[in-house]
Amino acid sequence: MANFNTHLNVAFMVSGTLSLTVYKAGLIDDSGFLVCVALGTIGGLLPDLDSDNSTPIKLGFNITSFVFAFGLVMHWRSDLSLLALIALWLAGYGFMRYVIFHIFTTMTVHRGVIHSVPYMAILGLGLTCLSYYGLHLPLTTSWFYGLFLFGGAMVHLALDEIYSVNLTGMRLKRSAGTAMKFYQHKDKWWYLLIYGVLALLIYAAPPFAPFVDDVSDPTHWQQLRQGLLPTLLETWWTHKG
């Protein structure tokens, strides 16, 4: 399968290119462009959260543990002494980084249900719902956030499938078909739960038709065409035509 750097670089390039496209079309603003790039890149690392020794899971739990400990200290900063706050900081960080991390890695298997299309769809739709209903962001922006996260994850799964082909011998490796999957019989009860949650999110998701109407609005793509080529090159091309 592809390594961490490959997933990171390819996800960044794909999400960056697509983000620039929708930004130049006027579908997202400056901050939306940056968030879409970040979400697409993060999505490109998400499927490896079920790998106990992967860089994304270690980095993710380190950051989560730090944020959790920081939140505890900020909440109790006025009520506890300095030594108590230091002890709380260390205890909170240690609990997340070692106890929760151990439980998570014990319950998950690499290329299990997390490393699947429906699970990534849940994360993408969940982010769309959170952005629209929780953060009250515009409909189009909310859908783009969820789609970029999901799209980055699909880049990851596609890379793993590509790397499962031995191009020199033109044959499939043993890992073929274990990356971009929709169901595995041995995890049938987990997949039943996943598809149940996915169905609920689809039902609760913000309306999709207005998003499609906005994206397909010809004025956006006319704006994109006008900003597609550098000014000098566009002038030369128009003159030549």
Structural domain for 126, as ranges: 4-52+108-226
Taking alpha carbons only, the member of 203, 49, 40, 43 closest to residue 113 is: 49
Task: List helix spans (H) across 25-138.
Answer: 30-43, 55-76, 82-94, 101-107, 117-129
- Which tokens go with 136? 């009250």
What digits encode the pLDDT tens for the residues 146-166? 999 899 888 888 887 776 654
Residue 74 lies in a domain: no
What is the predicted pLDDT for the residue at 177? Answer: 52
**Which phi and psi (to 5°) does residue 84 adopt?**
-65, -40
- Domains in the chain: how many in total? 1
Residue 165 lies in a domain: yes
Residue 57 lies in a domain: no
Mean pLDDT taken over the chain: 76
Is it the case that residue 39 has pLDDT exceeding 70? yes
Lowest-confidence range among 34-38, 140-144, 184-188?
184-188
Residue type (1 letter), 7: H
Residue 66 lies in a domain: no
